[in-house]
Amino acid sequence: MIYALYFIVVLIFSIYSYSLVDLNLTLFNNQIWDNFRSFIIQIGYFNKGLSTIIFFSCLGIFYLLYFLSKKYKPNPIKLAFVIGLVSLIAYPFLSHDFFNYMFDAKILTFYGKNPYLFRALDFPSDHWTRFMHWTHRVYPYGPTFLPITLIPSFLSGGKFILSLLFFKMTFVSFYLGAVWATNKINKNMALTIATHPLIIIEGLNTPHNDLIAMSLGLIGVYLLFNKKVWSRALFIISGLIKYSTLPILILSKKNKWLNILAFIGTLIPLYYLTFYSEIQPWYFLILFIFLPIFPNLIKRIELFLMGLIFSYFPYIFLGGWNSPDKVAIKHQIIIYFSIANLLALGIYKIFYFIKKRSALNSINN
């Protein structure tokens, strides 16, 4: 039943994602597609109330299934395969970064230029630039992400649909790899990686390279636990994607203080981006790397992570991030959920202390 429910809700969410397909993007020259596109964009662009209901209904079901999977414990790898396979058809509607990944690789594989030196704007005749954002910047990521993206880019031969599909397949492959490696450590942890709504939405539906950094980190942790020398190599590759995961290089199987130091080191760039740049939900995917190290970590910050996804409310209901007021609402939602998370942790600690005190009193009596 869990497999079927996930298939249905991921399929619905994937179809819904086309409600915010870029108006300058034509995926297919087909009458059936044109009819579907005309229908679905009416929801995303012109009936924002209905769009908001669909988005948050799916999000609520994702969380319900997430908690049910903890209870019924389906096979994490099979479940991840279902989720990943259906997510292949989703449109990356919450961010345009995915299209930048595609074009940055295309600069090298199709145009034979260095993406660290050339921008999308340097190719004005390319039709992809009509629906891209951030066309003015050169390649902003570390040296290990580009080689990964060259494979799907080369296979696509410059064709947009093939590039979209092959890039999605690449991200799904890394997602499956993360679930597989975590399942080797602990099944419950693997279920968290397979079903967490933040990973499904920010890693699969609207893929970000933080998912790949997370996946390499988790595979590296699995190898670390099995005393494989390749673990450090994967930590380096992960860290050189966006640099924020570089502190995991000091992770240890036995030394808890090194692990705490690595965790704090990972939080520092997140803190900087949050308070001095812009807080983005996908940045926090890298925290899942520490799940095998700190098994209760995700459980303790669950409300905060939920707030990250709920912060899309102004984007869905009001449309885009084109005003400071919308961004301010986003930040308020995250702050409210963060406060709720801290209060929940405080209440839990109080009840835990009372329960422990009562148990000690019973023993003494």
Residue in the structure block whose two tokens are 């230029």: 113
pLDDT tens, position by position, 47-67: 999 999 999 999 999 999 999
What confidence score (pLDDT) does residue 361 get? 67
Q: Which residues of the chain have pLDDT under 50?
A: none
What confidence score (pLDDT) does residue 167 get? 97
Separation between Cα atoms, residue 350 and residue 207, nearest integer Å: 39
Q: In Å, how far from its chain's centre is CA 238? A: 15
Q: Residues 6 or more apart from 119 whose CB is under 8 A from it?
A: 135, 136, 137, 138
Domain spans in the chain, listed from the N-terminal domain onward = 2-364
pLDDT tens, position by position, 303-340: 999 999 999 999 999 988 888 999 999 999 999 999 99
Separation between Cα atoms, residue 167 and residue 151, nearest integer Å: 9
Separation between Cα atoms, residue 281 and residue 267, nearest integer Å: 14
Q: Where are the alpha helices (DSSP H) in the chain?
A: 2-16, 31-46, 48-72, 76-87, 97-109, 145-156, 160-185, 187-195, 197-199, 209-225, 230-242, 256-276, 297-300, 302-310, 313-314, 324-364
Q: Residues 6 or more apart from 307 whose CB is under 8 A from it?
A: 333, 334, 336, 337, 338, 340, 341
Separation between Cα atoms, residue 294 and residue 50, nearest integer Å: 40
Provide the whole-model pTM: 0.93
